[in-house]
């Protein structure tokens, strides 16, 4: 990424988009980062630079924005996540796949446009080795979201090989952040728990206490994303999607960590349909290829993430 890059973010109001827009506007300047979302928005992503309402399923509208601003990089973040997708499978498949094809086809016609597309730990399934899940392993996802992400990975690699599209991707673990709420994922509990701990002192968790999942704090996710986009093309040897890891924990462990700051905090467990989704995913991830190929290294662990989350959320809630 250079100062000259003009970046388009699709799905800018989502959990990753909100943070990424602000971070890239700091790096590149407000006018260089075009934020778009399917719905009109208020607040920082609209105030700090260009914002447009764009539906990723409308390929012509996406192409028009890319041409208007001479966009050189697209971060295509618009998708339905795991829990929401199970409630509306056909729409999730349509949105997650058509959105991706629209962007890949634009980049096929104009190979100066570099693409970032997020994949997920949801590409793995119940037959995948759960601990230190390798980059290349059995992938039989059992959720609609996971099926769409796995198919998406195959198409990304295909467009890279056949059409020279410079597409790059990360299999994000559950992401923890304070600037915006996650929407419709199975790992969302690890964000909700902080809000409820501060607001109510208690949290009813929709996963069982010993359900370990891979997680990452948003500043690390942004660093991973931006370093992958900065990497020289020949270092990006994997064009499906890279495993990346930050930390792994279960609800009981994170509640114990929160209790170090808020000693009266309590947690109860009432697992719902998301338990089965979580059980089909890895507990921890082997990300040695991302480390080797483009120098990935996380900064936050459970303790430092918890301290930072509570500090920032407290500051937000006072205002
Ligand atoms: N955080 C996502 C979800 O829970 C996984 O990619 O759906």
Minimum CA distance residue for ligand 1 atom 3: 185
Domain containing residue 13: CATH number: 3.40.50.720
Minimum CA distance residue for ligand 1 atom 6: 120
Buried b (16+ CB within 10 A) or exposed e, 208-233: eeebbbbbbbbbbbbbbbbbbbebee
What is the number of structural domains in the chain? 2
* Alpha-carbon distances, residue 169 vs 31, 161, 273 (angstroms): 25, 15, 28
Minimum CA distance residue for ligand 1 atom 2: 185
Closest Cα to residue 249, out of 174, 153, 144, 143?
Answer: 174
Q: Is the CB of 150 under 6 A from ligand 1?
A: no
Residue from 11, 180, 187 whose mutation best tests the ligand 1 pocket (most atoms within 8 A of CB): 187
Question: Ligand 1 mean position to 82 CA, how many Å?
Answer: 6
Atom number of ligand 1 nearest to Cα 120: 6
Within a domain: 2: no
Checking if the pLDDT of 69 tops 80, the result is: yes
- Read off the pTM: 0.97
End-to-end CA distance of the chain: 35
Per-residue pLDDT at 43: 93
Within a domain: 197: yes
One DSSP character per residue, 260-316 reads TTSTT-EEEE---THHHHHHTS-SSB--HHHHHHH-------HHHHHHHHHHHHHHH
DSSP category for residue 237? -
Residues 102, 184: one domain?
no
Residues contacting 253, CB < 8 A, separation 6+: 302
Within a domain: 290: no
Binned at pLDDT 50, 70 and 90, residue 3 comes out as low
* Alpha-carbon distances, residue 133 vs 5, 77, 125, 242 (angstroms): 35, 24, 11, 12
Atom number of ligand 1 nearest to Cα 118: 6
Percent with pLDDT over 90 in the chain: 96
Q: Is 145 a catalytic residue?
A: yes
CA distance 205 to 202: 10
What is the mean predicted confidence (pLDDT) over 17-25? 97
pLDDT digits 0-9 by tens, 78-118: 999 999 999 999 999 999 999 999 999 999 999 899 999 99
Residues 24, 128: one domain?
yes
Checking if the pLDDT of 319 tops 80, the result is: no
Residues 54, 159: one domain?
yes
Active-site option among 69, 75, 145, 159 = 145
pLDDT digits 0-9 by tens, 130-164: 999 999 999 999 999 999 999 999 999 999 999 99
Q: Is the CB of 172 under 6 A from ligand 1?
A: yes
Structure tokens at 239: 């064009």
């Amino acid at each position: 990424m250079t100062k000259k890059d003009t970046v388009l973010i699709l799905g800018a109001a989502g959990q990753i988009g909100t943070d990424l827009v602000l971070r890239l506007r700091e790096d590149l300047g407000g006018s260089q980062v075009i934020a778009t979302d399917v719905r009109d928005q208020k607040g920082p992503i609209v105030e700090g630079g260009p914002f447009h309402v764009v539906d990723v399923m409308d390929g012509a509208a996406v192409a028009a924005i890319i041409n208007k601003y001479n966009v050189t990089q697209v971060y295509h973040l618009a998708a339905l996540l795991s829990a929401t997708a199970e409630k509306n499978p056909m729409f999730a498949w349509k949105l997650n796949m058509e959105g991706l094809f629209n962007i890949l086809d634009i980049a096929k016609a104009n190979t100066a446009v570099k693409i970032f597309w997020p994949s997920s730990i949801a590409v793995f399934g119940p037959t995948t080795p759960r601990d230190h899940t390798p980059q290349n392993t059995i992938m039989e996802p059992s959720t609609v979201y996971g099926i769409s992400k796995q198919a998406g990975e195959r198409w990304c690699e295909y467009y890279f090989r056949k059409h020279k599209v410079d597409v790059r991707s990360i299999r994000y673990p559950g992401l923890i952040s304070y600037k915006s709420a996650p929407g419709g994922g199975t790992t969302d509990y690890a964000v909700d728990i902080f809000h409820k701990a501060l607001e109510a002192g208690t949290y009813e968790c929709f996963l069982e206490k010993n359900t370990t999942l891979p997680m990452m704090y948003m500043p690390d996710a942004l660093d991973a994303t931006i370093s992958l986009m900065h990497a020289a093309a020949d270092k990006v040897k994997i064009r499906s999607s890279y495993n990346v890891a930050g930390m792994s924990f279960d609800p009981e462990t994170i509640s114990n960590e929160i209790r170090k700051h808020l000693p009266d905090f309590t947690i109860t467990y009432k697992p719902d349909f998301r338990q089965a989704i979580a059980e089909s995913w890895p507990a921890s991830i082997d990300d040695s290829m991302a480390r080797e190929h483009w120098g990935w290294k996380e900064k936050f662990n459970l303790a430092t993430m918890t301290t930072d989350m509570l500090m920032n959320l407290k500051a937000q809630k006072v205002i």
